[in-house]
Each structure stands twice: as structure tokens, then as C-alpha cells.
Amino acid sequence: MGLPAGAEPLRLATWHADLSRKGPGLLLRDLLRGEADAVVAEIAAADADILLLTDIDYDHGGAALSALAERLAQAGADYPHRFQQRPNTGMGTGLDLDGDGRLGGPRDAQGYGLFSGQGGMALLSRHPVRLRRDFSALLWRDLPGNLRAPEDPAPEIQRLSSSGHWVLEIDTGSGRLTLLAWHATPPVFDGPEDRNGRRNADELTFWRHYLDGGFGAPPVQPVLIGNANLDPERGDGRHEAMRAMLGDARLQDPLPGEATVVWEQTGPMRVSYILPAAELRVAGAKVRPPIAGQRHRLVHVTLDLP
């Protein structure tokens, strides 16, 4: 079937590709050596107009992201517009948040990280992109109805975002599209206090508050995109938060029940999502097959924009 008159297809994608390393500069080294060519080939094959990566190291000069873009251009996937900024991962607080008696550990940071910028986010786009709003510095305690435990340390410092919460505006040529991008902490690696589970759920629930107008005027016809690290039914986590988001009448789910990762402990799970506004026309959606060396699968949704 042909597109409606005047419609322009726009393919959005997100992928929790393993583009994070154990030290600063190592991702750039591996990209220059060609050690991430399987990731490059998969991105090129997906042929997305806009791609959000949710596990890519950040460096101040953007050298690693530029090297990735250069590799992609060589593979026939040119992304002239890119956005990345320092994530909360590895960002020091100067406090002993995990109570182990030492400062500067990965769990003492705003978001878990061996170094500042480990495992952040980045957007690659064929269309101009700009940051409209950044909620990454919002304190966890300032989220209405938050699940933060009263005894949780440093309420005056601890941010909600483990990586970031971005509102990005894309000039598609057929009008502006707003992306609500985030990458939440995994709801595991803690104890009975369920700190990570509480934070994970609140990182997702933030977007519902934003759509409600709780943080200023909400965007018109947005697309929620990123890694929730939460399945509506399987694995650890507060599943009710994901079910509430999937059941929100303001959004649509083009890939219900489609797994995006397989873990030995849980089997297939859905953790990466693209949820367009209910009014947007979805022309296609797919979770691509897994590739060697990558647990997570690339997700893409094609919209027909008037």
C-alpha cells in the first residue's frame, strides 16, 4: 500500500548496544581499531532516520561518537546531526552513598559508573536535533509521589535520573517531532530495600507526570523512546509502572509483547521501547534479530508524518 498523499516516512530506532567500556577512551580505541564493526553493520542495515543509543560512553569532546558516525558514514549510513551530553552515570557526588566506608566508588555516583560518562546515551539523526528540556538534574525527592525510601541517603543531592531524561526536538522537514528519551537503572543489584527497583519505576513514572503537565507544558504528540530496563510481566522490577505506561491512552504500543533481550535467569524480556503518541500514524514496527556479541536487539518504528 502506498503512503497517504503528502506523507513522509520517518524511521525511529533505539538500541541498547554494548558501546560501553571499563575505562575512558577505550571505546574510541575500539572504534578506531574496527572492533565495533558488527554494531556499525547492524545500525546501517536498520536504516533508521533517528537512532537513540542507550549504552554508549561519553567523552567531553565527543570523540567516540564522532568516530562511530564516521564508521557509519563509511558503511553508507550518514548521520550529520548528533546529540550527546554528560550523563549522570559515574558523576561523582563526593559522598559515600553505598555506605562501604569509601568515596568515589561506582555506587557513590549519581548513576552507577566506573568513570564519568560510562554507559550514557547518544542520538544520531539525519535531521536537525536540539535539546528542548533536560530533566537529568531533577532530584529524586522532587518527583511527586516518588517511591524513594525515607532512609535513602543524601536527598538533597541524589538525582532521579541514573543516566538522563531528555526532551529532544527533531526538525523532520514535515514538522517537529518531540522525543522523550531516557535510560533507567536496572531494578536489580540491591537488597530487600529495593532501592534500584524503586528508582527504576520512578524514572519511568516521571514521563507520566510530564505528560500530565506536572513539569510545565507537555509536548504535543511526543514519542517515548529508550530503555526502561523493565518488562511489564517478567523479571525483577515494579511491573505495574510499565503496565501503567503501556496502558496510557495518550500513547500507542506498536510492538506489544515483543522481547528485546534474553537473559539466562529470566528468558526473553522487553526492556527497550518506542511508544508514539496515539495520534501519530505508525506505518511499521520491528524488533530486529539478535546479532553476535550483543544481547539486546535493535527496535524500530516507522511513522508516516503529514
- Over its length of 306 residues, how does the chain's per-residue pLDDT go in tens digits? 344 455 689 999 999 999 999 999 999 999 999 999 999 999 999 999 999 999 999 999 999 999 999 999 999 999 999 999 999 999 999 999 998 999 999 999 999 999 999 999 999 999 999 999 999 999 999 999 999 999 999 999 999 999 999 999 999 988 899 999 999 999 999 999 999 999 999 999 999 999 999 999 999 999 999 999 999 999 999 999 999 999 999 999 999 999 999 999 899 999 999 999 999 999 999 999 999 999 999 999 999 998
Helical packing angle, 239-246 and 195-211, nearest 10°: 20
> 164 near 134, Cβ under 8 Å?
yes
pTM summary value: 0.96
Check residue 6 and give its pLDDT: 59
What is the number of other CB atoms lying within 10 angstroms of the CB of residue 97? 19
Check residue 174 and give its pLDDT: 83
Check residue 2 and give its pLDDT: 41
144/210 Cα distance (integer angstroms): 11
H or E stretch covering 125:
strand 120-125
227 forms beta bridges with 183, 272
223/162 Cα distance (integer angstroms): 20
